[in-house]
């Protein structure tokens, strides 16, 4: 079963990221640029972008978040243990699974009861 959800970081998480980003921007302005030159400019530019993104995630009205597709390998909640046992028996009768596999899966389904 596949589900599609939209994830949005919490406001506290985004604000924390923004505050840390501001610290990195200040480090870039007062330490990295004077000492490292071009690398300092790169550092500060990246820090500004990350800080802006975090504050936009925290306070931006239009931000929804990325879509994440989740594949759930678990059995469908609509399927009863009886149905699962019948399917298992059918697989065994058709010799698609071994007796050991049959017993192992049968015990697993019965433990869920």
The tens digit of pLDDT for each residue in 90-113 reads: 999 999 999 999 999 999 989 888
pLDDT at residue 22, rounded to an integer: 97
Whole-number pLDDT of residue 113: 81
Q: pLDDT higher for 70 or 51?
A: 51
Stated pTM of the model:
0.55
Q: E strand or H helix at 4, and its extent?
A: strand 2-6
**CA–CA distance from 27 to each of 21, 42, 44, 68 (Å)?**
10, 12, 8, 34
- Tell me the C-alpha distance between 53 and 65, whole Å: 12
pLDDT over 70 (residue 77): no
Confidence (pLDDT) at 11: 87
**30 pLDDT exceeds 80?**
yes
Q: Render pLDDT for 4-27 as a digit per residue (tens, 0 to 9).
A: 777 777 889 999 999 999 999 999
**Contact (Cβ atoms closer than 8 angstroms) between residue 63 and residue 56:** yes
């Amino acid at each position: 079963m596949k589900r599609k959800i939209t994830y949005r970081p919490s406001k506290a998480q985004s604000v924390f990221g923004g505050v840390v980003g501001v610290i990195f921007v200040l480090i870039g302005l007062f330490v990295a640029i004077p000492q490292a030159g071009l690398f300092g400019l790169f550092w500060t530019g990246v820090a500004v972008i990350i800080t802006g993104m975090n504050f936009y995630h925290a306070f931006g009205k239009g931000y929804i978040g990325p879509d994440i597709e989740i594949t759930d390998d678990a059995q469908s909640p609509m399927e009863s243990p009886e149905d699962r046992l019948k399917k298992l028996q059918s697989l065994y009768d058709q010799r698609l699974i071994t007796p050991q596999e049959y017993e192992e899966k049968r015990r697993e389904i019965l433990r869920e009861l």
